[in-house]
Structure 1
Amino acid sequence: MAHLILASSSPRRKALLQQLGLNFDIFSPDIDERVLDNETAMAYVARLAQQKAQAVWQKFPEATIIAADTTLAVDSEIIGKPESKSDAFAIWAKISGRCHEVLTGICVMNAVTQYVDVVQTKVEFQVLSPKDMEDYWATGEPLGKAGGYAIQGIAAQFIPQIMGSYSNVVGLPLQQTAALLKAIKVLN
């Protein structure tokens, strides 16, 4: 089997990829994650996944690289990770009581081939009260999470339903990732 590298330091992506029974190393690239002018959420996550994969492949050209990037979108606005408590509260106010989209760009590449896919999941978020927000912020869970929440954690209580891939909302859509790994001949 080819040397496989996950281009991410996310413990959630690592745990999800381990569910596929693969042996892999981890190398997290440092790339510029700023949104380009007029860039859609779909184009943004696809571009970042490709850039992460290419940055790691430059260092390990014999390897097969798996890279992903996840973001939220509300009314075509890209919502990233909160940088502060006030930022988290502003994000939660935008998604409170409505549906938003979670998009993950995936790139699987080696020296010969590159596959890119974007997976979209709709997430319904309940109305959060100021107390809900204060209590959730106090847990520390929102830090470093796209949209300021973790569906696999405490925030599950705020999500009445999702339409699409659960693992996508966690950070790596497993069915689609497995399909790309099969296409590149890493999985049978």
Structure 2
Amino acid sequence: MTFIYLASQSPRRLQLLEQWGVRCELLLPDAGEDTESLEAALPGEAPAAYVTRVTGLKLQAALARLRQRGLPPAPVLCADTTVALGRRILAKPEDAADAARMLAALSGQRHRVLTAVAVGKPRARAAQQWSALSTSWVTFEALRPAQIRAYVQTGEPMGKAGAYAIQGRAALWASHISGSYSGIMGLPAFETAQVLGAAGVQLI
């Protein structure tokens, strides 16, 4: 394949793919598409089930978008990231106060960062699909209220699962990381290579 479609508005995912030598074309939603509703958690849903399901829904929407626009066929990549404290899902904060609450909950805690990736390959009938899940662990030092306030004021937590970006200032709080650093950023290198390889896209 000469290129893939990336159905994500995350600049971090695009940056990572470009670093890995993958040529991407963005396949973003139309203005009228309700993409936020896809990320709503079901009652009692476990974090791993949630992030896998949401990624699958994003892939279905992206494949439909590809067909509707009559674009040239190519593999479509989707991903979704969530932060989990036990079974509690910490999605993107609704506002600054919500971000502060999430960060206070993560203070001094070991938590999971789960990123699901999925690739769909358009076909005449049903598209072929492959998916994988990356689970990493992050431990934050105990945070002072003043630290949380200062971080929230930077605006960095907004639009980020768990209200932080590991590639940003929050890295200064991470005393221990286990797993995939790129997965914590939003696109796990190993799992992405596996699903793209299954779709015929070799990264190396």
The reply on whether 1:175 has 2:181 as its aligned counterpart is no
The reply on whether 1:106 has 2:112 as its aligned counterpart is no
Match of 2:97 in 1: 86
SS in structure 2 opposite 1:182?
helix
Q: Which of 16, 32, 42 lines up with 1:36 in the alignment?
A: 42
Aligned pairs for 1:14-93 (under 5 A) are 14-29=14-29, 30-31=34-35, 32=37, 33-61=39-67, 62-93=73-104
Q: Which runs of 5+ in 1 are unaligned?
A: none
**Overall identity of the aligned pairs, in %:** 41
Q: Check conservation: 2:27, 2:66, Cα contact below 8 A.
A: no
1:43-101 CA-partner distances (Å, limit 9, x unpaired):
11111111111111112242211000000000201101111121111101111101000
- Report the AA paired with residue 134 of structure 2: V
- Report the AA paired with residue 148 of structure 1: A
Separation in structure 1 between the aligned mates of residue 101 and residue 51 of structure 2, nearest angstrom? 22
Instruction: Give the paired residue count.
Output: 188
Structure 1 residue ranges, 4+ long, deviating more than 3 angstroms after superposition:
none
- Report the AA paired with residue 8 of structure 1: S
SS in structure 2 opposite 1:81?
coil
Q: CA RMSD in A?
A: 1.3
* Structure 2 length-normalised TM: 0.88
Cα shift at 1:146: 0.7
Separation in structure 2 between the aligned mates of residue 88 and residue 60 of structure 1, nearest angstrom? 34
Q: Which moved more, 1:64-73 or 1:52-61?
A: 52-61
- Report the AA paired with residue 55 of structure 1: A
Separation in structure 2 between the aligned mates of residue 68 and residue 56 of structure 1, nearest angstrom? 11
Separation in structure 2 between the aligned mates of residue 65 and residue 160 of structure 1, nearest angstrom? 35
Cα shift at 1:12: 0.8
SS in structure 2 opposite 1:60?
helix
